Amino acid sequence: MPLKISLSTMIAAIFIAGAAIAPSASAAPDDACSLLTQAQLDTVLSVSVGAGSYISPTDKRTCSWKGTGDAGKGAKTVTLMLQTLGAFQAGKSVQVKTIVVTPVSGIGDDAYYLAVGPNVGLIVKKGSATFKVAVYASDLTLEQKRAVEKTLAQQVVSKL
């Protein structure tokens, strides 16, 4: 006896099968500019930023946003770089006197600050995704940069 399946049942089965093989939300992202908005950056930096731009037209894994307006108030730039797990692990175990690695809790699965002189970046791992967010601002202290980076990293993690 042949099995009779309605068209709506067949469409539902195809939809469910497609959802089962679709990439998961934890898949590593490949477009850094899509993970933060100008509005998020404007709020956190307290200055307007321009649209995100890719470092290379053929590589969307690094995006940079630059503050607009009066540079005398402290030039601000944010860079978001999607990294490999190998780069995440390598940075975590750096042992150079001029580089300070500080573990951070409460962001993703694992995170740390990597500071070199007046510059710092927050490197985060969430599932299979790893990224670095760095704030470059002449009028912010190292601690202020860390606070801004942590806020931005939490926003990125919420999209992973």
Tens of pLDDT, residues 135-146: 998 888 888 999
pLDDT for position 70: 59
Q: What percent of the chain is modeled with pLDDT above 90?
A: 38
- What is the structure's pLDDT at 69? 67
- Neighbour tally for 151: CB within 10 Å: 17
The mean pLDDT of the chain is 78
What token pair was written down for 67?
């503050």
Gap between the Cα atoms of 64 and 52, Å rounded: 5
> What's this model's pTM, rounded to 2 decimal places?
0.76
CA atoms within 13 A on the CB side of 113: 21
At 29-61, the pLDDT tens digits run 789 999 998 889 888 888 888 888 998 888 899
Where in the chain are the domains?
A: 25-157
